[in-house]
Amino acid sequence: DGDNYKELFGALDNAFLVAYAIGMFISGIFGERLPLRYYLSGGMVLSGLFTALFGLGYFWDIHVLWYFIVVQVCNGLVQTTGWPAVVACVGNWFGKGKRGLIMGIWNSHTSVGNILGSLIAGAWVSSAWGLSFVVPGIIITTVGIICFFFLVEYPEDVDCSPPLHHVMTTSEKDPEAVTSNEGPLSLSGQSSVDHTNSPKEPAEEPEAISFLGALRIPGVVEFSLCLLFAKLVSYTFLYWLPLYIVNVAHFGAKEAGDLSTLFDVGGILGGIFAGLVSDYTGGRATTCCVMLVVAAPMLFLYNHVGQNGIGTSIAMLIVCGALVNGPYALITTAVSADLGTHESLKGNAKALSTVTAIIDGTGSVGAALGPLLAGLISPTGWNNVFYMLIAADVLACLLLARVVVKEARGWCGYMARQRGYVVT
């Protein structure tokens, strides 16, 4: 209830986001070396504990800022166990062929969680706000216990066949196709080696990959830096969109909150669309790049004409949500799984968690920077905030240029071979 409440909320948000970004780089290393079921379940229970402790500050009548900051830092650290573990588990079950679509549908849980979290928290925010944290804490703890008893890490654990992580589609159509080892995401870069054997079948368990070893996988650095700017845009919308709608469109707080959820609805559609297209074309980077290129002018249009009517606002929010969150969803799921099972690893599946943590950890740096920059720039006008977001989108696109060129070469080589020409 003080005049500096915005600064206090900003400190709490940044305490969580910075802790999450730092912890993510460490979390993936532990994820490769511990049973995923224990690691994920333990992280969920601890996340529930610290979330509930934040809300209990209301019932215990705590008014000391350091208590809430310490709880937020601890919460940010333990929540880093989630994303690397779940992507690794899903990646263990599904091969490269339909991974984009499957993970695009699966990744809708992030947007659904954002929506449900807002609705659950909003139920008590005006009365006993502590319950806005205690109830979600109880929910995630309960689901963590369920995961402990029922999560199956590998298909082989229940006598199912493991997926093929590298499918050489071009060699099936052209037996004389020449395979390149340039990268994981080009058609010519997919491995033609038969990986029918499970990574768990060798007598000797492969060693988990090191942090530097994961960085050397082709494409990891590019996609990590791309996600930094893509997540910067996404999280700026997540934190600032309701306030923008109130200030520019002059809606009430509740209407602005309801409208802002449409951005997440668009994110669900964009994630599924990006996964489907990237499966069909074989070009994960190209799909991300095209969506980012289209997102830049759409953000400009939303800022200038998106508030001209409720219908226009709804349509623009869904479209912008799809174009902004589509590449973000694709990189954090299918691309992370592709790189974590890259052909250069020679069947070693002990890289999924580390690669996912590096990519999402770098993206989390952008998630922390975006809302902070928006807070610093917004006093100069909302136009400048949107110019910052458009610039971030363009940078994200440019960082994928090398991988996009590699994919284009793969397509050109495949088409030339189909016509009977030899590419040198």
Domains of the chain by start residue, with CATH: 4-158+208-416 (1.20.1250.20)
Q: What is the pLDDT of residue 196?
A: 42
Among 123-137, 146-160, 172-186, 299-313, the range scoring the smallest mean pLDDT is 172-186
Rounded Cα–Cα distance for residues 412 and 422 (Å): 11
Average pLDDT over residues 98-113: 86
pLDDT band at 27 (very low <50, low <70, confident <90, very high): confident
Provide the H-helix boundaries in 60-168.
65-79, 82-93, 99-106, 108-122, 131-150
* Contact in structure between 69 and 11 (CB atoms under 8 Å): yes
Where residue 177 falls (left for φ over 0; alpha for ψ -120 to 50; beta otherwise) is: beta
Nearest alpha carbon to residue 28 among 329, 348, 368, 359: 359
Nearest alpha carbon to residue 223 among 157, 288, 315, 299: 288
Q: What is the pLDDT of residue 202?
A: 44
How many other C-beta atoms can be found within 10 angstroms of the C-beta atom of residue 253? Answer: 11
Token duo for residue 40: 């994920």
* Contact in structure between 183 and 403 (CB atoms under 8 Å): yes
Provide the H-helix boundaries in 194-251.
211-215, 220-244
Q: What is the pLDDT of residue 166?
A: 54
Q: Say which residue, 170 or 71, is predicted with more confidence.
A: 71
Three-state secondary-structure class, residue 328: helix
Q: What is the pLDDT of residue 57?
A: 95
Q: What is the pLDDT of residue 290?
A: 95
Describe the chain by its helix, strand, coil percentages, rounded to 5.
75, 0, 25
Q: Which residue, chain included where needed, has tokens 């409208």?
A: 259
Mean pLDDT of the chain: 82
Q: What is the pLDDT of residue 275?
A: 92
Phi and psi at residue 174, in whole multiples of 5°? -135, 100
The torsion of the CA quartet 40, 140, 17, 329, rounded to 10 degrees, works out to: 70
Q: Say which residue, 155 or 205, is predicted with more confidence.
A: 155
